[in-house]
């Protein structure tokens, strides 16, 4: 079928000069309008954009890059896209970049060091103007220098959103947004201690000096230290139990908590999950064993995913989504690219969002074990909380072997009910 005249016209490449001639404007004004420069009046910008769409004008990015020695392309490296927190940040960064006349090229290392190094070479080949690294860097020492230094030498502005103190790029040429994970966990654990929980389980958090979870463990220690310094009444021995460090998804968290519930040892009265996705797997396991949240077990997440507020008993969690770090990171690197500003280091605080999944610890201090059949016949309690949700995709953390650590505190709470558990209560 022959092409129409309209099709032939649409296929013709329109230059910026032709667009400017059509509008009786200078090439410079058209360029500034198309790049959303504030020096151009809004009415002029809209007229230029409308005419460009009508004539089928498409910017020649390669020619502009040669003239300006800039590609207006920003690389974004994330550890995984299976955790919605990282995906939401990619979306936020992409929208912010678009508004400022830039484009995003993003990739995920999936927690693999070899893939991280390969992606650095990939971004180097793209001639990006800036690179944002969301999360910790898996590469260490000479490996990290070999991967990232060529980008720095090429003049690429690098910004890292650092989660804690592990895997942080060294050097003063790197901008940094440091998320105070330790303080966020400290807030969460302090909240549970104030609710008289004295046996707290950490789900999906490794007790390993080389792991990325050291900031979380530091936050736990800080919460216990604050409790000691305050000489709080009824400070029984506090046990912090690191179990299920291999819980990296809803599925693995469900299996790990199920296995822990089958053991004869007392089960924690409160659980701190490494993230909200892991918390969902925990909820399902507790529900399947007839345990209510927060009536039997309190639960705290981390991230504040949008879905966490919509459960039957909404999830208490540590929020980082309210910070809109994707947009903040984009604005910071573009400012550095365009104005040659010095690298910046910014510390950001997280905040605890208290919802319905946390409550006072059981008065007997033990968790009741129930079979599946008993769970089905059980009369709901006043705090019958979150129910089963379907399992989903993997989350963003990895782990190896379960381990425990504990901290003993002295003194006693005069208000605590220390009566023995009823005869039908069983330590899980």
Question: Worst-scoring range by mean pLDDT, 112-116, 169-173, 323-327?
Answer: 169-173
- What average pLDDT does this structure show over 319-331? 91
CA distance 118 to 369: 49
Note the pLDDT of residue 297.
Answer: 97
- Comparing CA positions, the residue from 79, 47, 231 lying closest to residue 167 is 79
Note the pLDDT of residue 263.
Answer: 92
CA distance 164 to 162: 6
Task: With beta carbons less than 8 A apart as the criterion, state whether 321 and 275 touch.
Answer: no
Dmax (CA) for the chain in angstroms is: 91
Please list the alpha-helical segments (H only) found in 154-273: 181-194, 214-229, 250-261
* Ranges of each domain in the chain: 27-59, 67-179+322-349, 182-315+355-407
pLDDT digits (tens, 9 = 90+) for 373-416: 554 444 343 344 433 333 333 333 333 323 333 333 333 333 33
- Comparing CA positions, the residue from 216, 192, 413, 416 lying closest to residue 297 is 192
Note the pLDDT of residue 32.
Answer: 84
pLDDT digits (tens, 9 = 90+) for 269-308: 999 999 999 999 999 999 999 999 999 999 999 999 988 9
Q: Is the model's pLDDT at 9 over the cut of 70?
A: no
Q: Is the model's pLDDT at 98 over the cut of 50?
A: yes
Average pLDDT value for the chain: 80
pLDDT digits (tens, 9 = 90+) for 31-84: 888 876 667 888 898 999 899 888 888 776 555 555 556 789 999 999 988 888
Task: With beta carbons less than 8 A apart as the criterion, state whether 33 and 44 touch.
Answer: yes
**Over pLDDT 90: what percentage of the chain?**
47
Superfamily designation of domain 67-179+322-349? Response regulator (3.40.50.2300)
Strand order across the 199-203 sheet: 351-353, 316-319, 298-303, 270-273, 199-203, 238-243, 405-407
Q: Which backbone phi and psi does 335 adopt, to 5 degrees?
A: -60, -40
Q: Which CATH architecture has domain 182-315+355-407?
A: 3-Layer(aba) Sandwich (3.40)
67-179+322-349 against 182-315+355-407: fold identical: yes
Q: Which CA distances in Å does 274 have to 83, 148, 214, 249, 367?
A: 12, 29, 12, 10, 22
Give this prediction's pTM: 0.73
Residues 6+ apart with CB under 8 A from 102: 72, 73, 74, 129, 330, 334
Question: What does DSSP say about strands 270-273 and 238-243: parallel, antiparallel, or unpaired?
Answer: unpaired
Residues 6+ apart with CB under 8 A from 51: 19, 22, 23, 57
Q: Which residue has the higher pLDDT, 167 or 330?
A: 330
Note the pLDDT of residue 275.
Answer: 93
Note the pLDDT of residue 349.
Answer: 94
Q: Is the model's pLDDT at 365 over the cut of 70?
A: no
Q: Is the model's pLDDT at 104 over the cut of 70?
A: yes
């Amino acid at each position: 079928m022959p092409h129409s005249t309209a099709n032939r016209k649409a296929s013709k490449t329109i230059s910026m000069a032709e667009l400017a001639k059509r509008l009786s404007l200078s090439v410079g004004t058209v360029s500034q309008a198309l790049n959303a420069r504030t020096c151009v009046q809004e009415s002029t910008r809209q007229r230029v954009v409308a005419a460009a769409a009508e004539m089928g004008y498409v910017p020649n990015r390669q020619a502009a890059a040669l003239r300006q020695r800039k590609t207006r392309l920003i690389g974004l490296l994330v550890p995984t896209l299976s955790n919605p927190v990282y995906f939401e940040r990619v979306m936020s960064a992409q929208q912010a970049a678009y508004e400022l006349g830039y484009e995003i090229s993003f990739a995920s290392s999936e927690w693999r060091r070899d893939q991280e190094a390969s992606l650095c070479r990939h971004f180097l080949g793209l001639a990006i103007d800036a690179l944002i690294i969301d999360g910790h860097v898996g590469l260490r020492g000479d490996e990290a220098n070999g991967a990232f230094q060529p980008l720095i030498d090429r003049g690429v502005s690098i910004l890292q959103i650092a989660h804690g103190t592990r895997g942080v790029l060294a050097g003063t040429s790197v901008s940094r947004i440091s998320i105070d994970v330790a303080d966020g966990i400290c807030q969460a654990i302090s909240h549970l201690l104030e609710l008289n929980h004295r046996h707290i389980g950490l789900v999906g958090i490794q007790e390993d000096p080389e792991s990325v979870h050291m900031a979380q463990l530091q936050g736990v220690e800080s919460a216990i230290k604050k409790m000691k310094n305050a000489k709080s009444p009824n400070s029984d021995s506090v046990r912090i139990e690191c179990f299920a460090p291999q819980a990296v998804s809803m599925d693995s968290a469900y299996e790990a908590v199920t296995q822990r519930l089958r053991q004869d040892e007392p089960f924690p009265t409160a659980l701190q999950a490494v993230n909200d996705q892991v918390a969902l797997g925990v909820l399902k396991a507790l529900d399947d064993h007839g345990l209510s949240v927060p009536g039997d077990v309190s639960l705290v997440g981390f991230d504040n995913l949008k879905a966490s507020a919509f459960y039957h008993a909404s999830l208490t969690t540590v929020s980082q989504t309210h910070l809109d770090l994707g947009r903040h990171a984009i604005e910071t690197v573009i400012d550095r690219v365009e104005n040659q500003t010095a690298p910046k280091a910014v510390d950001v605080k997280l905040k605890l969002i208290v919802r319905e999944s946390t409550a006072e610890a059981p008065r007997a201090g033990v968790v009741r074990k129930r079979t599946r059949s008993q769970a089905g016949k059980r009369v709901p309690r006043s705090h019958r909380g979150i129910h089963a949700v379907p399992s989903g995709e993997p989350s963003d953390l990895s782990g190896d072997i379960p381990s425990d650590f504990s901290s003993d505190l002295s003194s006693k709470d005069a208000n605590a009910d220390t009566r023995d558990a009823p005869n039908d209560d069983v330590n899980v």
